[in-house]
Amino acid sequence: VERLAWLIAELARAHGTRQVVDLGSGQGYLSRALAYQHGLDVLAVDADDVQTCGAQRYQRQTERHARRVEDRAPEQSQAYQPNVAPQGDSVAGEGEGNMPARGVLVHATHRVTERSLDELLAALHAKADHGTAGVSTEADEPPSGDASASAPARDDHRSGRVPWLLCGLHTCGDLAPSSLRLFVESDAHLLVNVGCCYNLLTESAVTSGANDQTNAGFPMSHWLRTELTRQGEAPSLGLTARHLACQAPGRWPSQAEATHQAFERNYYRALLHLFMVEHGMAAANVDAPRIGQLGRKPLPTFAAYAIAALRKLARSDRLSADQSARLHAFLAAPGDDPQAPAAVLEAFAAQHADGRRQVAAFWTLRALLAPALERLLLQDRVHYLREQGHDAWIIALFDPQASPRNLALVSVKTAEPAPVHD
Ligand SMILES: C[S@@+](CC[C@H](N)C(=O)[O-])C[C@H]1O[C@@H](n2cnc3c(N)ncnc32)[C@H](O)[C@@H]1O
């Protein structure tokens, strides 16, 4: 939060603006850092009213703390230097240190789509001008500071005179592509975006025709659609690859326990699929039947995992009638029978013990693709922005060991169209 806020503040300063819209602002950590530590005027937008209310509660706490600090040591609160680069990896500490001249922070509940910013801004202006909010937007009044002081900025904002910055931290799934399209279609001048949850992206259903227009989350760029189509590939990654793009194998050493548990689940999953194929409960040449979550607690042995998974599958409609009949018969054997499920499954695991190393090697090699997949997703966004004539870069904000989503996409609208690089 601290580093991203600093980057946004520097960009805003360099381009002579204080106006920021934070999309998918959640509990408002970034918005408050921008308003209270860097003195920017922030419109914080989130689709979820629970998030908005939480952010407003934190904001009131921050306000109270700021007043106490100012009352105690007014001269100290002038000493704050908002443009100092962050030194550590710590998250911006609220309620600590001195406060700068504050910006205005306004919250709104609004589901952002690429077409909705005008509606959002119009609703906010209506509320500010006439004390009424638009139907689909709930905005609060600026909680502190002189609200009228920002009125000229609002007028400038509306007429497009003041450059403004569109940002978002951990804009999950399609919120990132929607933010980019909003940036392109609005009069925003600067964009800073950090995405997350690539698994939630929608993908283009179109399998041919690089020129087809799409509102899908991936691919966005003409470049990638052309490239994939030229190579005879469908312009999509699929859910497994999108899940993989979220992984952070660089953090395995520092998260040994969680990594070990994740591997065990994958190993058990692979072993169970083999067991089901060998016992006529699944086909060999199609994907393994989906099992989904089996509760929060890690299951201690392969037998415990497999029995929980098989019971879940027995209640589902994911198997053929024949496969389902075999599964029910297997689970029905009584506990003292030598063919009891637990005994059979443990014997199967012992017989295939060598497979653990093969699965570990495969799992590791596969996970090493994660950074490349994330880069591909982000490079697609960079190309999309450049194709629209804007400068765009990816900036590494910090060591990904600290937090996996360390790449920020930055774009600046230029007077001259930016060259499109391959
Ligand atoms: C992963 S959270 C990030 C929250 C915050 N930016 C942070 O970093 O702490 C994503 C947020 O985006 C919001 N969101 C998702 N889709 C949205 C949309 N289309 N319009 C507005 N908000 C959205 C969610 O409600 C959620 O609060």
Mean pLDDT by 10 residues, the chain (422 residues): 95 92 95 94 94 93 83 57 41 43 88 74 57 37 36 46 87 94 90 95 64 75 87 81 91 87 90 95 86 81 94 91 94 78 94 92 92 95 96 92 89 71 52
**393 within a domain of the structure (yes/no):** no
144 and 276, same domain (yes or no): no
26 and 150, same domain (yes or no): yes
Question: Residue 26 C-alpha to ligand 1 middle, in angstroms?
Answer: 5
* pLDDT confidence of residue 262: 86
CA distance 299 to 302: 8
CA distance 121 to 103: 18
Of 232, 198, 234, 241, the C-alpha closest to 214 is 234
**259 within a domain of the structure (yes/no):** yes
Q: How many domains does the chain have?
A: 2
* pLDDT confidence of residue 97: 45
* R_g (Cα) of the chain, nearest Å: 26
* The three-state (H, E, C) secondary structure of 369-414, written as one string: CHHHHHHHHHHHHHHHHHHCCCEEEEEECCCCCCCCCCEEEEEECC
**168 within a domain of the structure (yes/no):** yes
Any atom of ligand 1 within 6 Å of the Cβ of 112: yes
Domain boundary among 176, 196, 216: 196
- Structural domain span for residue 318: 254-353
CA distance 278 to 280: 6
Order across the sheet with 190-196: list the strands. Answer: 138-139, 105-109, 41-46, 19-23, 165-172, 190-196, 407-412, 391-396
Domain boundary among 148, 168, 196: 196
Q: Are 368 and 245 in contact (CB under 8 A)?
A: no
- For a pocket test of ligand 1, which of 43, 49, 114, 170 has the largest count of ligand atoms closer than 8 A to its C-beta? 170
161 and 298, same domain (yes or no): no
**240 within a domain of the structure (yes/no):** no
Q: Are 292 and 312 in contact (CB under 8 A)?
A: yes
* pLDDT confidence of residue 124: 57
* pLDDT confidence of residue 193: 97
**187 within a domain of the structure (yes/no):** yes
Name the one residue in this structure whose structure tokens are 């805003």: 12
* pLDDT confidence of residue 216: 86
Nearest CA to ligand 1 atom 12: 24
Q: Are 328 and 210 in contact (CB under 8 A)?
A: no
111 and 35, same domain (yes or no): yes
* pLDDT confidence of residue 94: 40
**260 within a domain of the structure (yes/no):** yes
Domain boundary among 163, 196, 229: 196
69 and 164, same domain (yes or no): yes
Any atom of ligand 1 within 6 Å of the Cβ of 42: no
Residue 317 in tokens: 């409609």
Any atom of ligand 1 within 6 Å of the Cβ of 48: yes
156 and 285, same domain (yes or no): no
* pLDDT confidence of residue 165: 94
DSSP class of 37: I
